[in-house]
Amino acid sequence: MSKGYGVTEIYVPEGSKFIGQTITETRLAESDINILTLYRGDKIIPNPRNERVLEPRDKLLCFGKLESMRGMIPVKTKRKRRPVIQDLDTQIVDTPDESTEKEDS
């Protein structure tokens, strides 16, 4: 695979400019993005035809220029996941040493 290319999933949210457009009309191919699979509800549509009309909540498995695909993600959804940080338990629990138990027996 060439550098700068990869596979990613693109979600088509409510209100997207792609809703109601065919795959050809989205002009993704002009940005060097190819749709490999269309996920619509429970349906999986491999190699969807260019005449296929996109609907809200479709997911597109795409191969193409990563930079082009990153540019399609709305700013508000680009937030990085913050790790969940838990407090460290600093209390030490005393447990009898096994060697001490054997000597006592």
The beta strand positions in 1-105, using DSSP E, are 5-11, 33-40, 43-46, 59-65
Taking the CA of residue 83 as centre, how many other CA atoms within 13 Å lie in the half-sphere pointing to its CB? 3
Separation between Cα atoms, residue 30 and residue 83, nearest integer Å: 37
- Phi, then psi, of 77 in degrees rounded to 5: -95, 0
What is the pLDDT, as a whole number, of residue 69? 86
User: Model confidence over 11-21: pLDDT tens digits?
Assistant: 999 998 999 99
What is the pLDDT, as a whole number, of residue 96? 67
What is the pLDDT, as a whole number, of residue 67? 87
Taking the CA of residue 98 as centre, how many other CA atoms within 13 Å lie in the half-sphere pointing to its CB? 0
- Mean pLDDT, residues 36-52 taken together: 96
Taking the CA of residue 99 as centre, how many other CA atoms within 13 Å lie in the half-sphere pointing to its CB? 0
What is the pLDDT, as a whole number, of residue 21? 96
Kindly report the average pLDDT of the chain as a whole number. Answer: 83
What is the pLDDT, as a whole number, of residue 68? 86
